[in-house]
Amino acid sequence: MKKTPPILDIKGLRIALPKGADRSFALEGLDLTIEPGEIVCLVGESGSGKSLCAGAIMGLLPVPHVHIAGGGIRFMGDELVGKSESEMRQIRGQSISMIFQEPMTALNPQKTVGWQIDEVLRLHTNMNRAERRARAVEMLERVHIPDPESAYNAYPHQISGGQRQRVMIAMSLALSPKLIIADEPTTALDVTTQLQILKLIRELQEQDGAGVLFITHDFGVVAEIADKVAVLCQGVMVEQGPADQVLNHPRHPYTQALIGAVPALTPPPVKPVLNSPVVLKGTGLKKTFAARGGLLSGKRKAVVAVKDLTFQLHEGETLGVVGESGSGKTTVSRIVTRLLECDSGKVELDGKDLLACTPRELRAMRSHIQMVFQDPMASLNPRKRVVDLIAQGPIVHGADPAKARDDARRLLELVELSPAAANRFPHEFSGGQRQRIGIARALALEPKVIVADEPVSALDVSVQAQVLRLLADLRDRLNLSLLFVTHDLRVAAQLCDRIIVMQKGEIVESGITAEVFANPQHPYTQNLLSSIPGRDWTPPSFRTDAA
């Protein structure tokens, strides 16, 4: 076998950040090689500099604020640092291509899918119209899009999210590049679609023998696809090695902490929750979104978000609501807190129907059911101090303001934040800290039920683990009942006593978490469970840190 040079060889790459950033270099001395036919995963939490690395290779850094300060990037033995813009333009697309995270924004909504693939070929090859069309259709076929001929003439909004990502892949592979950079290509997709896309990337890469630099934050995805793994922490590469070694025998403490934070797919021990009294009961809930027309225009087509949903939440229990996007799980969380008006059905909280309450009664009832929101930044009023945010609920319900603020300070301690946080504004906190504030606010009213709508999906994995642990801890200490909405089956497995699986507004399966995971009955549940990335990999546990 002939020795070929590596496709990509990064040596001592340093990327400088503008003055006033939290550190002076986004990347400090990164060394990375990608051999032909190899998938290298670059893993790191947000702010670790992984996306800037991709930008540096593509020559797409926002110069002069962010620029390469040292080191080299050799592509097929050819130095990329210092190449002119026009030379880089030739290489981009032709030899190095990129798959972006959000296929909807990366595709031009005004042009058909076929036109956009055609454009790539037109700019970089001398093919004539018929050849280009044949090639485009062939590419669509290779990415397994059903009926490539009609997809060729479709606009991006006419095809599904997974198909758009397939189109993006078809576009980036149309010129048979030597290197593919995939920047979180599956993060915006549902698990079942994610698995298909990962398989597709692997399959195509094997056919073409290209090298892939796969940027991700998700160790499950890494376990699924990687040959080699490099872990970035704050711009410094802390560990690099074959996937098996890094995943199962990580050596650096940071990698160990990261992997230790990945929720294992082992459900909690079964608690005798079914004997406790029911605190929240939903019966026959229905919600249809009728797209509202104007004063004079007629009604448009209605979308059924939830049809005939019935569930029970016992005291001290955590009920997980899992499903993919569009399954109606978020709608459920908004209906039971009556942030959305329901079409029909009943939500009984301690035997009282929440949906039949008058506005005045409802306001009083609200103190019994509280919510933790998905986006901790958006759910905290940016113009209010933390102590006021937390004390607001009790004050509205008639508590003495001074006492409510004292209680708020105590709650901060309960969610493991320093009391000094009380007089700050939300933007001064990190994502995980904000979510703790959100939890403290929900607890301030001493509710019986907490509805948590994807409370950890906006957080990095290590922070996610801390927040989950806090939630579980508080639940046990305060005997809370949790309705936990999530798309992440790993998170659900970790926290929920029982789960209900939703598809298209309906419950397809429900039961004790351990039983559902061990023996799923419904084909959809089976499909979901078999799509969890890295499901065959059990993260080794490191209980070195007591954090």
For residue 126, give Cα distances in angstroms to 37, 121, 132, 174, 370.
Answer: 27, 8, 9, 14, 62
Give the tokens for residue 456: 């950890």
Among 101, 330, 433, 513, binds other proteins (CB under 8 A): 433
- For residue 373, which of 457, 430, 462, 289 has the smallest C-alpha distance? 457
Stretch that binds other proteins, among 158-166, 275-283, 425-433, 497-505 (CB under 8 A): 425-433
Stretch that binds other proteins, among 35-43, 80-88, 436-444, 525-533 (CB under 8 A): 436-444
Among 257, 262, 305, 508, binds other proteins (CB under 8 A): 257
**Residue 457 near residue 425, CB atoms below 8 Å:** no
Could you give the string, one character per residue 287-326, with x where binding to other proteins holds by CB under 8 A and - elsewhere?
A: -----x-xx-------------------------------
Q: What are phi and psi of 191, to 5 degrees?
A: -60, -40
Instruction: Report the nearest approach of other proteins to the CB of residue 463 (Å).
Output: 6
For residue 480, give Cα distances in angstroms to 333, 372, 421, 475.
Answer: 16, 13, 25, 5
Number of continuous H segments (helices) and E segments (strands) in the chain? 20, 20
49 binds other proteins (CB under 8 A): no
Stretch that binds other proteins, among 108-116, 417-425, 477-485, 533-541 (CB under 8 A): 417-425
382 binds other proteins (CB under 8 A): yes
Query: What are residue 372's DSSP bridge partners?
Result: 452
Instruction: Report the nearest approach of other proteins to the CB of residue 372 (Å).
Output: 9
- For residue 385, which of 421, 433, 338 has the smallest C-alpha distance? 421
Dihedral (CA of 312, 313, 315, 320) sign: positive
Count of residues binding other proteins (CB under 8 A)?
52
Instruction: Report the nearest approach of other proteins to the CB of residue 289 (Å).
Output: 14
- For residue 517, which of 546, 492, 543, 485 has the smallest C-alpha distance? 492
User: What is the rounded CA–CA span in Å between residue 102 and residue 196?
Assistant: 16
Q: What are phi and psi of 76, to 5 degrees?
A: 50, 40
- Please say which residue, 160 or 544, places its beta carbon nearer to other proteins: 544
For residue 134, give Cα distances in angstroms to 7, 131, 156, 313.
Answer: 29, 5, 20, 57
Instruction: Report the nearest approach of other proteins to the CB of residue 155 (Å).
Output: 26
Instruction: Report the nearest approach of other proteins to the CB of residue 158 (Å).
Output: 26
User: What is the rounded CA–CA span in Å between residue 253 and residue 477?
Assistant: 31
Instruction: Report the nearest approach of other proteins to the CB of residue 476 (Å).
Output: 20
351 binds other proteins (CB under 8 A): no
Among 166, 228, 329, 366, binds other proteins (CB under 8 A): 366
Among 56, 321, 417, 471, binds other proteins (CB under 8 A): 417
- Please say which residue, 109 or 294, places its beta carbon nearer to other proteins: 294
Among 11, 124, 424, 504, binds other proteins (CB under 8 A): 424
**Residue 533 near residue 223, CB atoms below 8 Å:** yes
Q: List residues binding other proteins (CB under 8 A).
A: 253-254, 257-258, 261, 292, 294-295, 334, 337, 339, 362-364, 366-367, 370-371, 373-375, 378-383, 392-393, 396-397, 416-418, 420-421, 424-425, 428-430, 432-433, 436, 438, 441, 445, 462-463, 466, 545, 547
